[in-house]
Each structure stands twice: as C-alpha cells, then as structure tokens.
C-alpha cells in the first residue's frame, strides 16, 4: 500500500525546477512522489523529478494531463503556466479526486487577473491603492489618452492590458531621441510609440498610466482558496534582492488574495510613487521566476502550499528577515 502522495508539476516558466527543489528540500520529501512535465526536453527537470514526462504544448495539454493524472493516480496537479487552458477541466479533475491548483478557483477569476484594466477597476471599487489607467485600442484613443494622461500625471507609461508587467511595458518620454529605445527597451519617445502603434493592422489593447518612479517590490504568496498561508516580499536591486517576512504590502496582499479568491503559488507586484506610497501593479496567478530566493528566510512557500492541500505536517525552519540574496546561474549538460 502506497504511503505517499503523487503530485504532478505541469509545465511552468523558468522556476519549474525550483518548485520541485523546494519540495525535495522540505520535510514533505519522503511523503511525495513528484512527476513533472514540459513540452521541451528539460534535463534539469529530468535530473530532479522522480519522473519526467514530455507533454504536449500547454494550449493542447488539458485533456492529456487529465488522462495522465488518472493513469498515474495523481492526488494534486500544479499548473505554473497559462493555467487558463487547464482550469476549464476543474470539474473533471475533481471527479477523479485530483486537486487542481491553477492560481485561482475559476476561469472567470483567472481572466479578471489577466485583464489589467478590469483588475484595476476592481481594485478601485474595493478602495485598494490602484494605479489609474486609460484603456486604448486604436491610434486615436491612444493619442487622446496620452494627451489627457500627460496633462493629469506628467510622467506616463504604457503597458498591455493582457500579459505580464514587464512584457510590452514602456516609459513614454517626449524629449528623448528614437534610438534610446534600442539602448533601453523600457523607454521610448512618445511620438515614436504612437507611430509604431499606428502601423499595427489591429490595435492592441494598452493601458496609459502615470509612471511611478519609486521602489518596486514583488510579493510571493502561498494561498489556499482566498486565504494567505505565507508570504515573502522581495525588493529588487541591481545585483541582488532583499527578502522580508514583514512588509507594508502584506496587508494589501491579504485583501487581494481574499477578493480574487487566489489559490496556489502566486505573485503580486507593487510600486511606490514619489511619496513612497505603495500601489498595486498586478497579480500573476503563477509563481514568479525569483520566488525561490524567498527560501533563504526559512519560509518554504511551495511546501506550505502542498502541506495545506494534502493535509501533511511540515517541519519549519527558524524564520530570518531581512535576508540579502545574490542570484546565481547553474548550467546543465544537454546530452
């Protein structure tokens, strides 16, 4: 008779190995059989998981994952990437007593967090420290929004309505040359951005927002159906990060996790304005690439999540905060 739980870590972004390592390095290790999958051959996953399986592209993998989880008698499936493709199968997984962890509890909640304009409006309605934004989807609406935002806020920026904060984000400035964008992709001449946008055959939904020039922080959170289990804030510096177990953004995160019914290992981004007031940028309903740095505080977010989901006892390390962390890169032989 098996005396362990079988868990499956489906394709994630760059941190999939770190998710598995966090479980292996915890006191849950002897109670777990860890399967993982990716649509690419990933030697670092093959080396660390108990079983590595090649999966179809994430957009086509939901039915396959369900079938494989049934076959391997999996107790919990963790999705760390584009969970909107797996979430519609939640009821089918439940019918086979497989817990599905996607970062949220429904497809509607995942879509709400992915739509940065709808997310902003929801935060505004909840009286949380949101960042005001104008949504545009055409060259005309873009020009009007930029003119209004510059008059209202001065410094402005643009970011896509859908996708992660860093992808497509750009600080718009009137007084820099066009070539500056090639030196620093996150800065562009305002007119250059308008001209580039006008060349699109179909307008992309963008937000035009005030540019906040303060400190940025990233909060990694283990949560269970709207309840925070543990959270660690990371402040990013040029060559290192500092991790905190106590931070002003934690109270806001607790409210966000509850209101958006977050479930899994998620990440919430904040930025300060010129008055050092924190504002919400976004919720990523998945683990961030740097979440593993938080383990140096003694808090193992992945283990906290899996212990809660599977009803297991977890032995915890003594907490330590703040902790300065220097990221390192590890190489793997491909053949």
CATH of the domain at 221: 3.30.470.20
**Structure-token pair, residue 231:** 């959270």
Question: What one-character DSSP code corresponds to residue 296?
Answer: G
Please say whether the beta carbons of 191 and 208 come within 8 A: no
Mean pLDDT on 48-64: 96
Whole domain around residue 199: which residue ranges?
Answer: 132-210
Asked if the structure places residue 113 within a domain, the reply is no
Name the pLDDT band for 238 (thresholds 50, 70, 90): confident
Name the pLDDT band for 2 (thresholds 50, 70, 90): low
Percent of the chain with pLDDT over 90: 89
Mean pLDDT on 104-120: 96
**Which residue reads 């992945």 in tokens?**
302
* Widest CA span in the chain: 70
Name the pLDDT band for 281 (thresholds 50, 70, 90): very high
Are 318 and 221 in the same domain? yes
Are 88 and 144 in the same domain? no
Question: Is it true that the peptide bond before 130 is cis, omega within 30 degrees of 0?
Answer: no
Asked if the structure places residue 114 within a domain, the reply is no
Looking at residue 59, what is its pLDDT? Answer: 94
Are 313 and 225 in the same domain? yes
Looking at residue 41, what is its pLDDT? Answer: 87
Residue ending a domain, choose from 210, 233, 261 = 210
pLDDT, tens digit, for every residue of 9-42? 999 988 999 999 999 999 999 999 999 999 998 8
Looking at residue 104, what is its pLDDT? Answer: 97
Mean pLDDT on 37-57: 93
Are 200 and 218 in the same domain? no
Q: How far is CA 262 from the centre of its chain?
A: 12
Residue ending a domain, choose from 174, 195, 210 = 210
Asked if the structure places residue 27 within a domain, the reply is yes
pLDDT, tens digit, for every residue of 284-299? 999 998 999 999 999 9
Asked if the structure places residue 51 within a domain, the reply is yes
Q: What is the mean pLDDT of the chain?
A: 94
Determine whether 88 is exposed, middle or buried from the number of CB atoms within 10 Å of its CB (0-12, 13-18, 19+). Answer: exposed
Are 43 and 65 in the same domain? yes
Please report, for the chain, how many H helices and E strands are present, in that order. 11, 16
Asked if the structure places residue 18 within a domain, the reply is yes
pTM of the model: 0.93
Looking at residue 1, what is its pLDDT? Answer: 44
Number of domains comprising the chain: 3
Name the pLDDT band for 244 (thresholds 50, 70, 90): very high
189 three-class SS: strand
Looking at residue 117, what is its pLDDT? Answer: 96
Asked if the structure places residue 288 within a domain, the reply is yes
Are 219 and 239 in the same domain? yes
Name the pLDDT band for 4 (thresholds 50, 70, 90): confident
pLDDT, tens digit, for every residue of 195-236? 999 999 998 999 999 999 999 999 999 999 999 999 999 998
Looking at residue 211, what is its pLDDT? Answer: 96
**Structure-token pair, residue 167:** 């992808």
Distances (CA, A) of 125 to 120, 272, 275: 9, 20, 23
Distances (CA, A) of 313 to 8, 29, 157, 265, 305: 20, 11, 46, 19, 11
Q: Where are the beta strands (DSSP E) in the chain?
A: 5-12, 32-38, 51-54, 76-80, 99-101, 134-136, 156-160, 170-173, 187-189, 206-210, 216-224, 227-236, 241-244, 264-272, 278-284, 323-325
Name the pLDDT band for 165 (thresholds 50, 70, 90): low
Asked if the structure places residue 14 within a domain, the reply is yes
CA pair distance 168, 196, nearest whole angstrom: 13
Asked if the structure places residue 118 within a domain, the reply is no
Asked if pLDDT for residue 334 goes beyond 80, the answer is no
196 three-class SS: helix
Please say whether the beta carbons of 61 and 69 come within 8 A: no
Are 84 and 154 in the same domain? no
CATH of the domain at 95: 3.40.50.20
Name the pLDDT band for 166 (thresholds 50, 70, 90): low
Residue ending a domain, choose from 210, 235, 265 = 210
CA pair distance 77, 65, nearest whole angstrom: 9
Are 158 and 251 in the same domain? no
Mean pLDDT on 72-98: 97
Are 98 and 171 in the same domain? no
Q: In degrees rounded to 5, what are phi and psi of residue 255?
A: -70, -45
Percent of the chain with pLDDT over 70: 98
């Amino acid at each position: 008779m098996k005396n362990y739980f079988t868990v499956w870590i489906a394709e994630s972004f760059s941190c999939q190995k770190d998710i598995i390592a966090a479980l292996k390095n915890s006191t849950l290790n002897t109670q777990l059989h860890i399967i993982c999958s990716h649509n690419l051959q990933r030697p670092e996953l093959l080396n660390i998981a108990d079983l590595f399986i090649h999966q179809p592209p994430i957009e086509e993998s939901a039915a396959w994952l369900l079938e494989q989880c049934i076959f391997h008698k999996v107790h919990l499936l963790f999705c760390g990437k584009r969970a909107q493709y797996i979430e519609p199968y939640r009821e089918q997984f439940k019918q086979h007593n497989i817990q599905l962890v996607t970062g949220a509890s429904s497809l509607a909640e995942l879509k709400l967090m992915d739509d940065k304009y709808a997310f902003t409006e929801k935060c505004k309605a909840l009286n949380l420290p949101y960042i005001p934004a104008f949504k545009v989807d055409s060259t005309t609406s873009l020009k009007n929004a930029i003119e209004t935002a510059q008059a209202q806020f001065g410094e402005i920026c643009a970011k896509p309505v859908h996708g992660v904060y860093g992808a497509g984000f750009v600080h718009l400035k009137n007084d820099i040359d066009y070539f500056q964008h090639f030196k620093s992709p996150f800065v562009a001449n305002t007119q250059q951005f308008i001209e580039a946008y006008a060349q699109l055959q179909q307008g992309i939904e963008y937000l035009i927002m005030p540019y906040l020039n303060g400190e940025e922080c990233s909060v990694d959170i283990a949560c269970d159906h709207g309840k925070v289990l543990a959270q660690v804030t990371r402040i990013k510096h040029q060559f290192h990060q500092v991790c905190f177990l106590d931070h002003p953004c934690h109270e806001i995160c607790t409210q966000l996790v509850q209101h958006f019914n977050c479930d899994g290992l998620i990440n919430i981004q904040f930025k300060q304005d010129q008055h050092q007031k924190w504002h919400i940028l976004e919720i990523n309903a998945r683990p961030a690439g740097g979440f593993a740095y938080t383990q140096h505080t003694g808090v193992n977010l992945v283990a906290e999540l899996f212990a809660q989901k599977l009803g297991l006892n977890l032995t915890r390390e003594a907490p330590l905060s703040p902790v300065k962390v220097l990221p390192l890169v590890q190489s793997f032989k491909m053949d």
